[in-house]
Amino acid sequence: MWGYGGHGGWMMGGQGDWSWPFFAFHGIAHLLFWGLVVYAVVAAVRGRAGRRQGDPALELLGKRYVEGEISQADYQRMKKDLGG
């Protein structure tokens, strides 16, 4: 019969000597894989958030222009000086 004796399935004792290390490695491999996936997603999200933040000097310059403190010519000149 299947599952009994030397010719049976490995879960029923046919070849059970090697199965536990295989399953232990399989479980560790899954944890490593999903850990890397989570790490990659977190790194990508942090990278986007870091790029979204602008230069504080350019933001202040834009705010001064919008509030009318400086003219358009001054704004363009200062923005060019700041590298924006």
Domains held by the chain: number: 2
pLDDT at residue 72 in the model: 93
**Cα–Cα distance for residue pair 81/74, rounded to 1 Å:** 10
**22 and 39 share a domain?**
yes
The reply to whether 48 and 11 lie within a common domain is yes
Asked whether residue 41 falls in the same domain as residue 58, the answer is no
Are 11 and 46 in a shared domain? Answer: yes
User: How do the pLDDT tens digits run along the chain, 84 residues long?
Assistant: 455 555 545 555 555 566 777 778 888 999 999 999 999 999 998 877 655 567 888 889 999 999 999 999 999 999 999 886
> Which residue segment(s) compose the domain that 17 sits in?
1-53
Q: Are 65 and 75 in contact (CB under 8 A)?
A: yes
Same domain, 65 and 80: yes
DSSP string over 23-75: HHHHHHHHHHHHHHHHHHHHHHHHHHHHHHS--HHHHHHHHHHHTTSS-HHHH
What is the rounded (10 degree) CA torsion for 70, 71, 76, 81? Answer: -40
